[in-house]
Amino acid sequence: MRKLSCVARFVLVAFVVVVAARSPARAAQEVAVRLSAELGGDSGLYATGGSKTLLQAELGYAHTVYSFRRGQLWVEGSWTIGERHDRLFSTFDTSLLVQQFTVGARATFPIRPWLVPQVRGGVGALLGTLRMNGLQSGAVSETGAGFTGYVLAGLQLLLPRPWMALHASRGITAGLVLEGGYCYSTSLRYTLSPQSSGDAVQMPSVPTDLGTLSLSGGLIRIGALLRF
């Protein structure tokens, strides 16, 4: 939560800066920073905590590839990161670090210069690192990989301001984006493997299957964007 609060402050400062920069409306590239809440179903892995909500921060880039009568088609890529902590059996501290790397497409349909509905979808790779502290053998971590995809719909609320009359078409546009939808992810499987004690004599140990973790579920995102 502490890291995400820092991200939230960064988003707020970035938004104030780009709004103050003055801008006009039409552009071909976009950089966006979003905060998202993934409202998953049964996680299936108790070690990551009882909460089914995973808060994440997303950094994305998009570029227009085609304009049609009522809108534009964009290609986009993004990196998303989030972390969740818990205490297992009042003894072990656990953390789950999730990262997603995705590419996708988006269609925007301007109603007004400041009001732009959009739909977007994409696919990519999911990495989830589970770490456990407090074990006799020391800290243990394992990274699982999977496939992820998303389908979202939402609104862009742009705040165009003239940069200068002669160069209005070359300015920038800032705004907010609100969207919701669904994120699908294949399950991540984790196996706890104790660290080797070297030459020390110890009882034989075998890896423990912790089960699988599913991050599929509803998704809500809010963020700031900068077009140029």
Separation of alpha carbons 63 and 56, rounded Å: 23
Q: Output the pTM of the full model.
A: 0.74
CATH number at residue 55: 2.40.160.20
Please write the tens of the pLDDT for every residue from 127-179.
999 887 765 555 678 899 999 999 999 999 998 655 433 444 456 888 999 99
Range of the domain at 108: 2-227
Q: What is the DSSP string of 110-158?
A: -SBTTEEEEEEEEEEEEEEEEEEE--TT--EEEEEEEEEEEEEEEEEEE
Strand partners, 182: 151, 218
Residue 79 contacts residue 101 (beta carbons within 8 Å):
yes
Q: What residues contact residue 166 under an 8 Å CB cut-off, 6+ apart?
A: none
Number of domains in the chain: 1
Please write the tens of the pLDDT for every residue from 85-108.
776 656 678 788 999 999 999 999
Rg (CA), the chain: 22
Q: Which of 6-20, 99-113, 156-170, 207-221 has the lowest mean pLDDT?
A: 6-20
